[in-house]
Every structure is written in C-alpha cells, then in structure tokens.
Structure 1
C-alpha cells in the first residue's frame, strides 16, 4: 500500500481543533403547570394597575360614572396589597421547604405591584392628612367670585367638622374657612409690582401654557376664569383669578380660587394648583398683608 493510500492518522501535535460553538439556550418562562404561583403573582401584579387605568380612563371618556370608577379603586388597591403579601408568603414557604424560588415570573409581578403601590402612596397620604374640602382660595374673607362659570350647587354641603366640638355652632362656610386656614395657612393673596391689566394678560398666557380652557378674561377689570382638566378621570376644576390695583395702579394684589366640580376631597390638587400658578405668575411670590 502506497503512502497515498494510507488512512490519515490523527494529529498528535500542534493546536487542537476548536470545539464547536455551543448555542446559548434562551431563558424560557415556566409554563402554567410548572410555575402556577409565579403566573398568579404576575397576572395579579400587572392586573391591578391595568384595572386602575381602565376604571379611571373609562370614567374619563364617559363609559361609566366617575363615582363608579372611584368606587373600584379601593378594591384595586386591596388586590395589590394582597398580591404582595401572597408573593412574600410564597417566597417564605419555598425557603422553609428548601425549594428554589422561580423569580422571573414572581419577581416581575412583585416589582409591578410595588411600583403600583408606590404610585398610590401620595394619594393615600393626602386622604389621611388633608381635610375633605374642594374649594381653595387665597382670600377666605372675600373669595373671588365666578361670573362666567357657575359655582357648584353643593359647594357648601358636606363640609367637615359638623361633629367637632371646636366647630360646633359654625355654619358650613365658617367651618370651611376654619378648616381651610388650618390645612393651608400658606395660601394667601400675593402682591405683584405690575398694573392689573399686565398681570391678567400674563395670567392668561400662563393658563394657556398649562392647557387650561380660558372661559373669560377681562384685563381692564382684573378678572380671568378658566377650567383645568386633570387625571385619567378627566376631572374639571374651575379657576378664577382676581387682580386689584394697589399703590395708585403701579402694583396689584392677586387673589385666586380653584374649585373642583365634583367630589368632596380634592386630595390637595387645588392648593397645589394655586401655589404653583401664583409662584409662576409673580416670579418670587410676596404675600400681601391681610
């Protein structure tokens, strides 16, 4: 047999051939049967914020009444809390039984739940710490009056404090003023070193920048009325701004009032609007003497 016909012998020297590349296996989520607890937490964790969006958004576009949307929120929040508790129980039981927790599904559900609960915390805090009023103004003795817009008919109904011994004998408007002053002592008239007409024109531009619907504006008389629409619920809050001349017209005293059209508790939204708007309007807000 010639050398050409001899079978090739394996090489014993030189660089060994490189092993074939091993394809990376994609991480696959467990099936419902293999990880039912993970799927349960994931579905509940994503379902709670989705239900919130549907409840609020449905109210906002008129699919159902805003009261129905709000009524669903406590149950949605409770579902989120129970989801987090259940997830923690699953993790603890797995550790006690020496089982490894499958985190892709369960962890994602927990993160979604924590994010949603974090989103709700400011609203819960507002309900617990702020009074259930919806009419905020810088001048409690003489609030700016609506002329183009109508003040809600039930504005003085359901004012808190009727059962409070310190407020006993007061009428609803007096209770409102007392509760308002205690909760928002910083909401006061401001002084701006500009004439009334200039201030109202500036207020109009700021309102338009915020997307408010201007209903009435009269720079000469120092009055502006507008409506702000907020949140997924599309709640409407009416605003009136009043400017009065001071120092022979060289300066202005500005008062503002913001009133929610519906609901009892505004969660501090009107006070926040008044603070931010007057701060932007005056640049550096100076409280006017009362």
Structure 2
C-alpha cells in the first residue's frame, strides 16, 4: 500500500456507517400490567361507588370488588414474571409502565386484603351490644327482619339446642368480651345531650334524641358503599342514684358479617362519651 492509498483507506473506514444497535423490544407485557393494574383499581372503585349510588345491589358490588381483587393479583403476578424475564434479556424494555401498574394493583389488593384478613379474625355477626341479656331496643328505627337468621353455631355441638339469640350472645361474649355497660358520673339527660352532640359531630343521622327517656337512635353511613348501620343508646340512672349506666347497640342493616365495624364503633363512641371507660358494676 502506497503512502497515498493509506490516508484514503483510513478516510473510507471513518465514513463507513457504524453497525446498527439492536432495538429494545416493545414492552407489550408492560402495557398489559399497567392496564390491568389501573383497571383493577377502577373496577373496584366503580363497584363500590355504584352500589352506594343505588345502581345495583350490594351483593353485586361486593362481587365486583372481589373480581377486581383477583384482577389486581393477576397484574402483580404478570409483572413479576415479566421482571424475571427481562433480567435475562440483552435488551430489556423500560420497566416504568410495569412498575406503575404493579404499584397501583398492590395498593388496591392490599386495601381489600385488610378486609379479607379481618373477616377471618372476627365472628360472622353484625349486631353488637354492651348488654347481651337485655340489648337496647330500637323504637324509632327498626331492627332488620333477618337479624337472627344465620347466626353462627347452628352446627356446633356445644351450642346444640340454643336459640339464635343465645348463640349470638355466646359468640359475642367470646369475641367482644371487653364491650360492656359503662358508668358515667353525670345525670341521664346530660349524658344523652352529650351523646347527641357527639353523634352529629361524627356525621351520623340522628333519628331520635329523647334525653328525658334516656334514649338516642342514629344511623351512620359508610363512605363508598353507603352501608347504613343503626345505633341505639340507652341511658338509665344507676342503682345508687349517682351517675348513669350507659348501654349501646350497633347493628348493620345488610350483610352477615360486619368485619368488626360495629364493635369498633361502640368502643370508639363510648370512649369519647365517657372520657375514661369503666365497666359498670
């Protein structure tokens, strides 16, 4: 090669196009995970809100929430499989869509999962009272007609021969033994008036407040499903005439299990009402 040919060869080598870099494959599964994850959240939200607005029965709404839960689980599993695959790929696709979809699905699945766990740890009852022998009675509001249907324990040999009310009392006592009548060192009328203020502050719909009779009835409505739970408060003077004995009952209008919400409501309300809750003797 002559001295003139060498620069020409070098120039041609410089101008030669570089070999094309392999393009990253389209992230089809990433799109799928994103759509599935967001779709699960949307489906669950529509199922809950639609129930609250009266577009369908609550049972259909719960089925929608359950279906969305399974869809969210599928989004997470697909995303994990895709993550395992791309780690072995020479040209892995961007993972932003996949991780966003998985995160959205995880938030929804985790939220619904807390209720599923709760359902496994509380009894399938929807009626909670501080007085099991003589629960406060509803007068203005009505106790649901099927309140004593399907009470747990019908097939339990230990409860054989017991009435539904007796089985309810046994199940209730075992699960919520801390929920009992409380004593308040104030007269009956003042206690009921305070209870009415607390109920309104919590956004409850007060159906009847009768301080002279020692009775308050109200309804709390949940945010999404618009489930309604009825509450009755019974306040009577103590045997010694000093202070009052307060009993409270909270009942869900629909469903068999309340996921512990009525017990939580009774504990919280009585704690606010009394300041320091002590069992009545």
Q: TM-score, normalised by structure 2?
A: 0.89
Distance, in Å, in 2 between the alignment partners of 1:122 and 1:132 is: 16
Q: CA deviation at 1:100?
A: 2.4
2:196 is aligned, of 204, 215, 219, to: 204
Q: 1:39 aligns with which of 31, 34, 59?
A: 31
Alignment partners' CA distance in 2, 1:101 and 1:174? 62
The answer for unaligned runs of 5 or more in structure 1 is: 1-32
Give the match for residue 75 of structure 1: 67
Q: Show the counterpart of 2:176.
A: 184
| Corresponding residue of 2:40 | 48
Tell me the secondary structure at the aligned position of residue 232 of structure 2.
Answer: strand
1:232-268, Cα deviation, whole Å (9 max, x unpaired) = 1100110000001015543011000000011111111
| Corresponding residue of 1:155 | 147
Consecutive aligned runs of 4 or more in structure 1 exceeding 2 Å deviation = 96-101, 247-250
Contact 1:200 1:243 in 2 (8 A): yes
The Cα of 1:216 is off from its aligned counterpart by 0.7
Query: Is the Cα–Cα contact under 8 Å of residues 26 and 93 in structure 2 kept in the other structure?
Result: no
Q: Structure 2 matches for 1:26-175, cutoff 5 A?
A: 34-175=26-167
Q: Number of residue pairs matched?
A: 258
Partner of 1:240: 232
How far apart in 2 are the matches of 1:231 and 1:158?
A: 27
Instruction: Give the Cα separation in 1 of the matches to 2:161 and 2:89.
Output: 64
Match 1:268 to one of 253, 257, 260: 260
Cα distance, 1:280 vs. partner? 0.2
What is the deviation of 1:125?
A: 1.1
Q: Normalising to structure 1: TM-score of the pair?
A: 0.86
Checking the alignment, whether the CA contact within 8 Å between 1:42 and 1:105 is kept in structure 2 is yes
Question: Contact 1:196–1:249 (CA<8 Å) still a contact in 2?
Answer: no
Gaps of 5+ in 2: 1-24
Change (3 A) 1:99 1:141: farther
- CA distance in structure 2 between the aligned counterparts of 1:101 and 1:170, rounded to whole angstroms: 64
- Residue by residue over 1:18-64, the C-alpha shift from the partner in whole angstroms, topping out at 9 and shown as x without a partner, is xxxxxxxxxxxxxxx82211111111111111111100100101111
CA RMSD of aligned residues (A): 1.5
Instruction: State the alpha-carbon separation in 2 of the partners of residues 90 and 278 from structure 1.
Output: 51
SS of the equivalent of 1:52 reads: helix
Segment drifting more, 92-101 vs 115-124: 92-101
